[in-house]
Amino acid sequence: MNPLVPQVATIQAIREETPDVRTFTVRPDDGRFPPYRPGQCAMLSLFGVGESMISITSAWSPETALEFSVKRAGRVTSALHQAEPGHKVGVRGPYGNSFPVDRWVGGNLLFVGGGIGLAPLRSVINHCLGRRAEFGRVDIVYGARSPRDLCFRQELFETWPSVAGVGVQVTVDAADAEWRGPVALVPPFLEGLKPEAAGTVAVTCGPPVMIRYTLQALGRLGFPDDRVFTTLELKMQCGVGKCGRCSIGSKYVCIDGPVFSGAELKQLPAEY
Amino acid sequence: MTDHQAALRDIAAKLLGGGQVATFIGFRAGLDPSRPVPHFVRDASGAGALVINPFCGAGLARHVLEALEDGPVGILVRGCDGLGLERLIADGRVTRERLHLVAVACRGAVDPARARAILGRIPERAEVDAQSVALIAGEERRSVPRDSCLLGRCLSCVDPSPRLADTWLGEPLPSGQRDFEAVTRMERQPAEARYAFWSRQFQRCIRCYACRNVCPACSCRSCSLDDPELQERATGLADQFGFHFTRAYHVAGRCVACGECQRACPMKVPLSLLNEKFLKDIRDLFGVADPHRPSATEPLACYRPDDLESCRGEAR
Amino acid sequence: MRLLPSERLAEFRECLAAGGRLYGPVEVDGIVRFEELGGRLPAIEPGNPANSLKSFLHPQTEVVFDFEGGYTDVALRVPGPPAAQAIFGVRPCDAVALERVSRVLLAEPFADESYRQRREMTAILTVACREAGPHCFCRSVGVSPADGRGSDVVLYPADDHYLLEAVTARGLSVLLSAGALLDPAGDEAARAACQSTPVPPVRGLEREDLPARLEAAPYHPHWEELARRCLGCGACTFLCPTCYCFAMFDTVRGTRGRRSRGWDSCQFKDYAMMAGGHDPLPTRASRIRRRFLHKLSRFPAVQGESACVGCGRCAAACPVGLHLAGVLSELEEVLR
Amino acid sequence: MTAQPRLVGFACRWCSYAGADLAGTSRLEYPASVHLIRVPCSGRVDPAFVIRAFQRGADGVLVAGCHPGDCHYASGNLFARRRFALVKRFLEYLGLEPERFRLEWISAAEGRRFAEVIREMTADLERLGPNRKLREDP
């Protein structure tokens, strides 16, 4: 079987998260999609337009369809935003490594997200909350450009805070008239919260520049490099470690990533 | 030409030393003596690396675009380089005042691959005059006809000397008029033979974009050939015809016939034969005497009310 | 080992052509390329044809699938398996390159299926080198003029005959099918001669600490110097037998369409640029550095061997003389 | 291949496009297989568009603009005239079929002329048969 040929799938539902982010619920027409782990991605395509590597936002279970939260950015994602329920898409995957959740058992978890970067974190957050008893405190720190750019509002403001031992802190870069929460960029906001580093694993994802400063902030907060994880995003064409596009040093983000520890990241050239 | 090497180094050192230019663009020796490479000298002490000889084949004009970001540029200029720079100036990409042109007349550059094939080994030196070329390696010196080993573009060159210059090395040579003989020969072929010829040529194309990237008339920041709506990545024969049509048409009226595209093509697609067709038709239809030499009004950026109405419908 | 008298070369060609499409180096319009041989004999000249073997195994463009339908209904059609082909007159470095590329493209669990099928349907008949071409430097990157890796059959040329060695089972069956033309051979002098063919070394390449030295100087100003000279075209990458990068693209005609893939070059300015404009390789210097480090440091770090096989195509093709051997000898000087 | 040749027309919105409208409202007969693309001026048409139309399945391409002297922008059609004179000759030079391409002047009042040009071109294209040389099918 050619790994570049996608399964045909149908968009079942579309939820508007923000003015430029929509979550697509997609079910392969043959009903089967291999089990996937939190942090993995899939190639989502529109026939006649092209493919994009998108992280799978849902947590796997045999019955649920796949969810992809897609920010409108380029040609393919713009076309996806024009799509409607019932439209056909191509999907292939799952690709990449995943968050080493089993190694985190017994520890506290700190998730730091920025903008659409909450999408890959959402799958691992929900996965960990599904195994709530295995972890200590769970803190979620999230920021976006403005209040209307906050993704997954329901989970952010209702579902997650209602789980015992889960704290959610939300900030925005710039407030609007209604916003009464904190106004700060994520990295200094995080540093201001002074999370306890001992016994805690930090997981971050967001725009490249946010990741860079968040990693520095986590370092100053005392998080060792091997207890910090992030997920990278580079341009991809094949998703299966052949096309060369997402190479970074001697790694391919599509198969060796997208999840890297801070320690692994330091071994790589700064080409992300 | 080689005689001017010492003078060139001198001038470059003075320009750099006096702060008149930030970069001097010329050639330096490559790994192989028959393949000098474009070189960017940044301070006076580096000028000693400059060479000038009949193996200097690459066009230099295009390189000023990036070098100018660091300040004014001094540059070695032969006829073809001069036309390329005129093109960049006419297109508003370069200002004349930021260039110091060191002009030299050129009798033609040797194609290193052809020279090696003739000699059976890498030539170390060459001498080019109006009648013949001498290829020299060790004790061996062989005199061969110009058309056996010069770059194709040099054989049809009518501009041995640049029209713009700030400093001259030696004397200019007289310029001539293009005769478009090769285009005329192609036009006389039957249509099916022409189609077969171009099919064979275009099929070889690997779409490396060397022809575009080397071209002094292709300095657009955003290029139609990168636009997937206008140029798909597919490489079927019709796609290749489309690619070469668009490339050639988009330099029509601005091509300076420097032949860099054809020199750069790793698949030896005779791109000059496309460009020259446009030049010839511009001459014939619009009465432009030397259509490859940039002028105040580009032939396709102007019109005459009395332009032949017949040139609209008929193909001839 | 078998022996093929030179005068039976045409018959040998016919025998190969009977097994499928047959390609080899031929000179057309003043350029030697691998093309369909037809009635011609392969042009065996020192050095390599302009295009590389990858044209036949990892082609410039190929169909991934065709599709037909509209927004709410679509059917995919995957192309059938490739036909058998043989390539006659390959140089050892090119075959070694194929073996290097295979390590990536055939890597599990996502082996590149169309490449795998083509590879299985292709017989590679290599002619070992008795003379180095003008741009050859195979020995500097651990490849020999008599290298058999990646080949199915190696032909070692002697004055009036070729010594034939089957390297793989596929090669053996090729030799069996041509059995009537071949004599049992005793003398292995032809192979020994090719094994000792001199190939000029490239300064810098033979240093074992080269990868480390390159990685240690990622922002050396010489990369910027190279970037001034480089035109940013893809000639070096498209002709390189070990460059395998590709892009995927869709074309549509009404209700029918096609997804294809085709060569792409890390030297193109939009190579790594993402939707939204973020570009991890924003400058020409960063892209040149990527290419050379991939060839000489990063690919070897994973695969244990250089991704350059010393074929010299980049040297023949680069319009501004910015090729691996030349750059390496420049770097050798500036990194000293 | 459909029986009727596929003709793509780039029509200037100030004249030829209105001419086509007039042909329609005057109930003049012309082949229905023409696909008109409205452009602001014949001078807007990049020859690359013409090639693109051929690649995407056109058997013939028409660029239609205002008569010389009538251009809404004074001179767009005169630039187009120079440009497409070269294009036509270049198509021939490449061994393609220049008859598949025409540049015509059709005013808003010339519905009859529009229908006539389409009929003529369609007849020419029927004689030439389908475009094979420049058509790229996926």
Cα separation, B137 vs D61, whole angstroms: 57
pLDDT score of C66 more than 90: yes
Cis ω on the peptide bond leading into residue C218 (within 30° of 0)?
no
Cβ atoms within 10 Å of B289's Cβ, excluding its own: 8
The pTM of the full predicted model, rounded to 2 decimals, is 0.94
Q: What CA dihedral angle connects A181, A183, A188 and A194, to 10 degrees?
A: -20
A103 close to C (CB below 8 A): no
Over range B173-188, report the average pLDDT: 96
Locate the chain D residue with the closest alpha carbon to B202: D94
How confident is the model at residue C331, as a pLDDT?
82
A165: its two tokens: 């031992």
Q: Which of A218, A223, A215 is nearest to A197 (CA)?
A: A223
What parts of chain A have a pLDDT lower than 70? none
pLDDT score of B310 more than 60: no
How confident is the model at residue C206, as a pLDDT?
75
> How far is D32 from chain B, CA to nearest CA, in Å?
23
D56 close to C (CB below 8 A): yes
> How far is B255 from chain D, CA to nearest CA, in Å?
14
List of chain D residues whose C-beta atoms are within 8 Å of the C-beta of residue C256? 138
Q: Sorting pLDDT into bands at 50, 70 and 90, what band is D1? A: very low
Cα separation, B116 vs B135, whole angstroms: 9
Query: Which residues numbered 57-76 in B keep a CB inside 8 Å of some CB on C?
Result: 58, 62-63, 66-67
Q: Do A4 and C261 touch (CB under 8 A)?
A: yes
List of chain A residues whose C-beta atoms are within 8 Å of the C-beta of residue C250? 47-50
pLDDT in tens, C183-200: 887 678 889 999 999 998
Cα separation, A151 vs D52, whole angstroms: 41
pLDDT in tens, B28-48: 998 888 999 999 999 999 999
How confident is the model at residue A59, as a pLDDT?
85
Contact D31, D58 (CB under 8 A): no
Q: How high is the mean pLDDT of chain D? A: 94
pLDDT in tens, C153-186: 999 999 999 999 999 999 999 999 998 899 887 6
Q: Do B266 and C239 touch (CB under 8 A)?
A: yes
Question: Considering just the CA atoms, what is the radius of gyration of chain D in Å?
Answer: 14
Give percent above pLDDT 90 in chain B: 89
How confident is the model at residue B309, as a pLDDT?
67
Phi, psi of B302 (to 5 degrees): -150, 180
Over range B54-64, report the average pLDDT: 96
List of chain C residues whose C-beta atoms are within 8 Å of the C-beta of residue A247? 290, 294, 298
Q: Sorting pLDDT into bands at 50, 70 and 90, what band is B316? A: very low
C319 close to B (CB below 8 A): yes
Q: Do B58 and C321 touch (CB under 8 A)?
A: yes
Cα separation, B48 vs B41, whole angstroms: 9
From C278, C281, C294, residue closest to A208, measured CB to CB? C278
Amino acid in position D71 = C
**How is chain A split among helix, strand and coil, in percent rounded to 5?**
30, 30, 40
> How far is C238 from chain B, CA to nearest CA, in Å?
7
Which residue, among C228, C251, C332, would best test binding to B if mutated, counting the most B CBs under 10 Å from its CB?
C228
How confident is the model at residue C85, as a pLDDT?
97
A252 close to C (CB below 8 A): no
pLDDT in tens, C84-126: 999 999 999 999 999 999 999 999 999 999 999 999 999 999 9
How far from B212 is each of B60, B208, C199, D58, D121, CA to CA, in Å?
14, 9, 35, 28, 35
A64: its two tokens: 């649920």
- CA–chain centroid gap for A111, Å, is 11
D124: its two tokens: 């020419």
How big is the A-C interface in CB pairs under 8 Å?
126
Packed helices A186-193 and A208-220: angle between N→C axes, nearest 10 degrees: 20
List of chain B residues whose C-beta atoms are within 8 Å of the C-beta of residue D81? 303, 307, 309, 311-312
Contact C220, C335 (CB under 8 A): yes
How confident is the model at residue B315, as a pLDDT?
36
Q: Do A250 and C105 touch (CB under 8 A)?
A: no
Over range C240-268, report the average pLDDT: 94
Ramachandran region, residue D129 (left: φ > 0; alpha: ψ -120 to 50; beta: rest): left
DSSP β-ladder status, B37-41 and B23-28: antiparallel
pLDDT in tens, C205-233: 777 788 888 888 878 888 998 999 999 99
> How far is C221 from chain A, CA to nearest CA, in Å?
17
| 3-state secondary structure at position A109 | strand
Locate the chain D residue with the closest alpha carbon to C68: D138
Locate the chain D residue with the closest alpha carbon to B241: D134
List of chain D residues whose C-beta atoms are within 8 Å of the C-beta of residue C254? 57
Q: Which of C31, C33, C37 is nearest to C52 (CA)?
A: C33
How far from A56 is each of A38, A92, B126, C177, CA to CA, in Å?
8, 11, 64, 53
Q: Do C250 and A47 touch (CB under 8 A)?
A: yes
Cα separation, A114 vs A142, whole angstroms: 6
ipTM of model: 0.93
How confident is the model at residue B311, as a pLDDT?
52
Q: Do C231 and B200 touch (CB under 8 A)?
A: no
Give the residues across from C335 on adjacent strands. Answer: none
Strands (E), B194-278: none
Number of residues in chain C: 336
Q: Do A49 and C259 touch (CB under 8 A)?
A: no
Strands (E), C29-152: 31-36, 61-70, 73-77, 85-90, 122-127
Q: Which of D9, B7, C248 is nearest to A242 (CA)?
A: C248
D93 close to B (CB below 8 A): yes
List of chain D residues whose C-beta atoms are within 8 Å of the C-beta of residue B232? 55, 136
From C30, C270, C319, residue closest to B210, measured CB to CB? C319
How far from B179 is each of A190, B155, B255, B260, D14, CA to CA, in Å?
73, 12, 16, 19, 42
> How far is A83 from chain C, CA to nearest CA, in Å?
8
List of chain B residues whose C-beta atoms are within 8 Å of the C-beta of residue D58? none
- Which stretch of A206-210, B145-149, C117-121, C144-148 has the lowest confidence by average pLDDT? A206-210
Cα separation, C84 vs C106, whole angstroms: 19
From A1, A208, A237, residue closest to C248, measured CB to CB? A237
Q: Do B238 and D55 touch (CB under 8 A)?
A: yes
